[in-house]
Amino acid sequence: MAIERTLSIIKPDATRRNLTGKINAKFEDAGLRIIAQKRIQLTEAQAGKFYEVHKERPFYGELCEFMASAPVVVQVLEGENAIAKNREVMGATNPADAAPGTVRAEFAESVGENSVHGSDAPETAAEEIAFYFSGLELVG
């Protein structure tokens, strides 16, 4: 199995409820290493650029507004099959469909305010990591 890196975001609904540590514990318990992490405040324009792929979706405006509503924690997770493993730990996008024990089953408030984001493929992981982190910040 390949060692991969993936971009993770702990979203405003979770930082607001002080859940960063509890969510990080789930990543670490699953064998994912947090090799870079910072807490930042996005503007709506920055959130819009990050989620540009969803520009035509009806929830795009709401999503950008939400992502800029409080600080987020952006992080790089590393490990064997990190992209798929992180998606397993997060659970389904809609918390109503998320398996028990997953981050979204335990903490997400709705499909929009769903506590975490994770990259969905190697190409998007590389792009999303580069969106938030410089090479100098990735120390492994």
**Residues assigned a catalytic role:** 117
Q: Are 44 and 64 in contact (CB under 8 A)?
A: yes
C-alpha 104: how far from its chain's center?
Answer: 11
Q: Rule CB under 6 A: which of 107-136 touch ligand CMP? A: 111-112, 114, 117
Q: Which is nearer to ligand CMP, 4 or 128 (CB)?
A: 128
Residue 15 engages ligand CMP in binding (rule: CB under 6 A): no
| Cα separation values, 27 from 23, 69, 104, 110, Å | 7, 24, 13, 21
Query: Is 93 known to sit in a ligand binding site?
Result: yes
> What residue numbers does the annotated binding site for ATP cover?
11, 59, 87, 93, 104, 114
Residues near ligand CMP (CB under 6 A): 54, 59, 62-63, 93, 111-112, 114, 117
